[in-house]
Amino acid sequence: MTCMGLHVRRASRIMTQRYDAAFRSVGLAPTQFTLLVAIHLLEPAAITQLAQELFTDQTTITRNIKLLEQRGLVAINPGDDRRIKLASLTVEGQAVLEQALPLWEQVQTEVKQHFGEEKWQTLLSLLAEVKTLS
């Protein structure tokens, strides 16, 4: 059964477990790592902006960011427009991100070696192209 939906979900689960194992020592889930990076890049980042960048529902960002806030990794401040919530990394958030980055590089390298440079690039670009479906 060559169902694209199944294939991509399955690959996502397997890959996620791989990254999850890598980040375990810093207590970050892969999604949380991604969110920290995104906040770092867009700082100060509005919820909606993060949702657009990550192709995730706004309500998902609201909930995921709350966990990071509760853990003290992210600070939330109101924007000039007080409907907007702006997220930025706390000092501790920056520290955790810096701890996580080499772990991320490690997995990336391992997975890249597993596939080989060419397949790695092909897979990345095809996955990126999935965005054009939405």
Where does this chain bind a second copy (CB under 8 A)?
1-19, 30-31, 34, 37, 41, 54-56, 104, 107-108, 111-112, 114-115, 119-120, 122-124, 126-134
Instruction: Report in angstroms how near the CB of residue 37 gets to DNA at its nearest.
Output: 13
Residue whose tokens read 């397997």: 14
* Contact between 95 and 18 (Cβ < 8 Å): no
Q: Tell whether residue 37 is a contact of DNA (CB under 7 A).
A: no
Give the span between the Cα atoms of 4 and 45, in whole angstroms. Answer: 33
Q: Tell whether residue 90 is a contact of DNA (CB under 7 A).
A: no
Q: Is 53 exposed, middle or buried (0-12, 13-18, 19+ CB in 10 A)?
A: middle
Give me 114's structure tokens: 């597993």
Instruction: Report in angstroms how near the CB of residue 1 gets to DNA at its nearest.
Output: 15
Sheet strands side by side (includes 45-46): 45-46, 85-89, 74-78
- Which amino acid makes up residue 109? T
Q: Tell whether residue 13 is a contact of DNA (CB under 7 A).
A: yes
Q: Tell whether residue 88 is a contact of DNA (CB under 7 A).
A: no
| 92 binding partner (options DNA, a second copy, none; Cβ < 5 to 8 Å by kind) | none
Footprint of DNA (CB under 7 A): 9, 13, 17, 20, 29, 31-32, 46-49, 55-60, 62-64, 67, 79, 81-86
